Structure 1
Amino acid sequence: MPHSYETLLLDSGTPIETVSKLLGHENVKTTMIYAIVLPENKINAFEKLEKYCEKITG
């Protein structure tokens, strides 16, 4: 499968472990080599972390 397929799945929110299995990789580290972390995904991840921290700290 082309790497663009992987990128589309990751960008749509599919967990990297699922993408790894779909691509037939035995180890998720192989998938991570080709994974592109888009700026929007970085921002989204930090926003989720911030919300989680606010939730646990009150």
Structure 2
Amino acid sequence: MESEKSPKKEIFPTIPLIILVTGILWLINELKIFTIDIPWFPIVLIIVGVAGLIEFYKRK
């Protein structure tokens, strides 16, 4: 007898993507290839993280 699996929603990997982009930007900045001077960048990451948490708890 085959067990039926419930359809799983595809979830976009937001957190890994943010970490990847942050790491790439940090590396580029450290290697002095391209200087990125965005003092509010951590605030953007915090806002994106909070929005992700809110969306996660709204779905429940």
Q: Common fold, TM-score beyond 0.5?
A: no
Greater helix proportion:
1
TM range (shorter): 0.3 to 0.5
Q: Which protein has the larger Cα radius of gyration, Structure 1 or Structure 2?
A: 2
TM-score by length of 1: 0.37
Higher RCO (C-alpha 8 Å, min separation 6)? 1
